[in-house]
A and B are shown apart, each in its own frame.
Chain A
Amino acid sequence: MHLAHYLGLLHRAQTALAAALREVGRAHADEADIAHLTEQEARRCDQRARALRPFADRYAEQAPDEPERLHSELFRGTRTGGLGLLRDLQDLYLMTAECDICWTLVGQAAQGLRDTGLADVVSEGAEETTIQLAWLRGRMKQAAPQALVVA
């Protein structure tokens, strides 16, 4: 059973996203909404990672060795300026999208296992991730014309 690997992947994606959110928030502290909302969303990522932990531990006992090239690297540091903000938010968006698809797949596995406890955690995590995606997408859509055409 390989679920543990995907739980690990999702867990790591959540903690990596939390760290990246905080880094972007610090790098763009002059964008007050970014600074506040990245921190708020990072806390949510931490909570979700914590909620996943017991399931990851439980299923780890039944898992074979971790396959190669499981984890991806989507974030390599922040940039500056209006265009830099847009690119940083795009990185966050892609990292959130990775979490989003992981939630979907882990949710499918939870159904296959009839693990309602995991399914509940997934359902909440997936919903919050959808909100994060919508927020990032909207914020980028607002910023794009000014950053790409005007500035």
Chain B
Amino acid sequence: MDPWGARTPYAAGEQWPERHDEYTTEPPERWVRSASLLHSNGDGIDIGVRGNRIVGVRGRAGDRVNRGRLDVKDRYGWQANARPDRLTRPLVRDGGELRECGWDEAMGRIVERSRQLIAGPGGWGRFGFYTTGQLFLEEFYTLGVIGKAGLGTPHMDGNTRLCTATSAAALKASFGTDGQPGSYTDVDHCDAIALWGHNVAETQTVLWMRMLDRRAGANPPAMLAVDPRATPVALEADVHLPIRPGTNLALMNGLLRLMLRHGWVDKEYVSRHTVGLEKLEQVVDAYPVEHVARICDLKTAEIERAAELLGTAERLLSTVLQGFYQSHQATAAAVAVNNLHLLRGMLGRPGAGVLQMNGQPTAQNTRETGADGDLPGFRNWDNPSHVRELAELWNVDMATIPHWAPPTHAMQIWRYAEQGSIELLWISGTNPAVSMPDLARIRRILARPELFVVVQDIFPTETSEFADVVLPAATWGEKTGAFTNADRTVHLSEKAVDPPGEARADLDIFLDYAARMDFRDRDGRPLIHWTDPESAYAAWQRCSAGRPCDYTDITYDKLRGDSGLQWGGERLYTDGVFNTRSDYCETYGQELSTGAERPAAEHHGDGRAFLLATGYSPAPEAPSDDFPLRLVTGRTVTQFHTRTKTGRVPELDREAPGPWIELHPDDAAAHGIHDGDPVRVESARGAIEVPARVCGIRRGVVFVPFHYAAEAANELTLTAWDPVSKQPLFKLCAVRVRGKV
């Protein structure tokens, strides 16, 4: 299978040519508008419908994101919707067994338990919500209001903590608020692309097609890849730095030092639009290239070549993903990429941009609406006037809205559940029994008899096996809602067919819960006064007004007209004025090595961006004699997340039906392992057995894809996270391997 298809080359400054991708199993009677749901790229897609069945998809040619192309997962993934093992009726646990029931009974149980728990002081603290990056904007906003203004709990997060929290943290730290500075159209204009731990060829195939098409046309951009694996991106790149895992920040500090030493700095931009240069210089000065080469195990000449590529580019585009986000000193390293662009004045104009990428299709909305625990509209929990705005909007007492500390991040929510202070855990649209680190621990927590577990999903999962109540949800194509991709492009995904059986839209489930809980505002009126996607969206528009992610101009009508509309314009910060003003910013800042929150009194934001730097420190769980290899987990092109959908589609499943381990030929030989041999992989926490792929990867590093429930990579991974973004370290666990004896 060729996931990227035929090239349509184009030159710098030209519009990306259209390519008309379509896949149908029967001729559609009508086409319904949507966008892609199996990655974060946000491709405009039409759903082909015949009767009440989805029969295919096509890329929407006029869409700014994909210009008619389809990602391979979207081409085939829709077929999962019609699989016979969909959840079609609610389930409740009786005598240890799950049995089918009606909605009244299932919701009645959740409400009964909720009422018991909310009674008395601290009732809010007994609830935890763990959601996803795959519901729609309207659903996330509604969930956020239920949590913050209904129950008044800060214990709400998404699995986005696992994939994109560092993106948000880095953007807030440097620029004052979340919000992607760059645009996918920067690919059309740039003369250099730097991919920082971003295997875009497998995670956002349509964005990679765009990059490949530029590389195949006139004036192609130079390309730098930083990745310990020989990924398709690394093979294509002009300069590939196969970095030692856990040392990204040392490399970044070294590169920043070279920018300063060589004068590859836009001095006017830096003096007008940034603060913190002196401290940055002081920190990075300790990273001469020979020192960096030793830490990162790279050649000095390679690092210097990379620096020259970055330093001499006139229009530089950077993209960042899990190689940085799920590794050691994640936020500090992602912020260092922002520093690079600030120093070089590479922001806010065509071709000069940063894309701190997302992993999931609607992760951006989790962050915007507050379903990740943040206050909606990129408001600052530590700024009383921001909290007051929300209290007025929702007409609730300001004290109801938790704002005494940052929101409780996912890893801490699970810890409270482990300790027993959280007694109701509501999991929507995600499968933590496969995706979380240290799965044995996660199973122990889910199995606690005192913990009431609600699972809202479309298929039975490894997680729903632990549920007390299972709620069958509708999915993409079966419900209407908006969502926003990694470059701020908003699409409307319309309902094309009815959901199976009694499955309901996630929005309807949340609205039903709010109605049954009878959440009221200060005047005794229903707190949640919206009833359907469009009225929920209108409520969100009011909430977003005046904030960076202002949706007031992006109406459903407009989304039904043009295909794909960006909030904030094509690029943010075109005038070099950032969202750092103290009364406007989303955070007063965090110290990068500990995550310590800075107090309001010490914040002096005035529209200039922050240059923030800290020193490299060695990663936890260094390889030892017992566990001499470093495991990094990751993704493969035909699978998404825990394969709830992609594992049910033969065209995708057969490309990668099970996990494997990638080893360097020397490491394989040292253990007598040949390509295809079964390998036992052990860490201090667990063990799996998977076949070997002897291939291009750093010596001393092994790779296992994380998607699979059987022989799951996360049996091995450790519980540890970045102190700023709280994103778990999936790319740093020490393991040993054994060939079959």
Contacts and interface: CB of A to CB of B under 8 A. Distances in A.
Contacts of B415: 30-31
Contacts of B594: 37, 40-41, 131-132, 134-135
A47 B133 CA distance: 42
A42 B418 CA distance: 27
Contacts of A70: none
B411 A141 contact: no
Nearest to B594: A135
A141 B404 contact: yes
Contacts, number: 69
7 contacts: A31-B415, A81-B419, A134-B596, A135-B596, A138-B595, A142-B412, A150-B124
A149 B125 contact: yes
Contacts of A142: 405-406, 408, 412
A145 B404 CA distance: 9
Interface residues of A, number: 24
B147 interface: no
A146 to B, nearest CB: 5
Interface stretch (B229-237, B564-572, B676-684, B717-725): B717-725
Contacts of B419: 81-82, 151
B421 interface: yes
A40 B595 CA distance: 13
Given A145-B125, A150-B126, 16 more contacts: A30-B415, A32-B719, A32-B720, A32-B721, A36-B723, A40-B593, A41-B594, A131-B591, A134-B596, A134-B598, A135-B591, A138-B597, A141-B404, A146-B125, A146-B416, A150-B122
Interface string B117-144: 0000110111000000000000000000
Contacts of A150: 122, 124-126, 421
Contacts of A146: 125, 416, 421
A30 B419 CA distance: 10
B596 A131 contact: yes
Given A82-B421, A135-B591, A32 B405 contact: no
Contacts of A149: 121-122, 125
A141 B405 contact: yes
Contact of B596 (A30, A138, A145): A138
Contacts of A39: 620
Contact of A145 (B122, B420, B598, B620): B122
B595 A135 contact: yes
Interface in B686-723: 719-721, 723
Interface string B404-431: 1110100110011011110000000000
A137 B596 CA distance: 8
Contacts of B723: 33, 36-37
A145 B123 CA distance: 11
**Interface of chain A: mostly helix, strand, loop or mixed:** helix
B617 interface: yes
A37 B419 CA distance: 21
Interface string A44-55: 000000000000
Contacts of A36: 620, 720, 723
Contacts of B416: 146
Closest 3 CB pairs of A and B: A150-B125, A149-B122, A134-B596
A62 B598 CA distance: 41
Contacts of B418: 30
Interface in A51-110: 81-82
A114 B421 CA distance: 55
A143 B598 CA distance: 17
Contacts of B719: 32
A112 B406 CA distance: 42
Interface string A18-47: 000000000000111100110111000000
Contacts of B412: 142
Interface string B597-635: 111000000000000000001001000000000000000
Contacts of B411: 32-33
Nearest to B419: A82
A137 B404 CA distance: 13
Nearest to B718: A32
Contacts of A135: 591, 594-596
Nearest to B415: A31
A39 B594 CA distance: 11
Given A40-B617, A142-B405, A146-B421, A134 B121 contact: no
Nearest to A40: B617
A150 B404 CA distance: 15
Given A31-B415, A149-B125, A151-B419, A134 B591 contact: yes
Interface in B366-422: 404-406, 408, 411-412, 415-416, 418-421
Nearest to B614: A131
Nearest to B411: A32
A47 to B, nearest CB: 11
Given A30-B415, A31-B415, A151 B421 contact: yes
Contacts of A145: 122, 125, 404-405
A138 B596 CA distance: 6
A25 B420 CA distance: 21
Interface in B417-466: 418-421
Nearest to B598: A134
B405 to A, nearest CB: 4
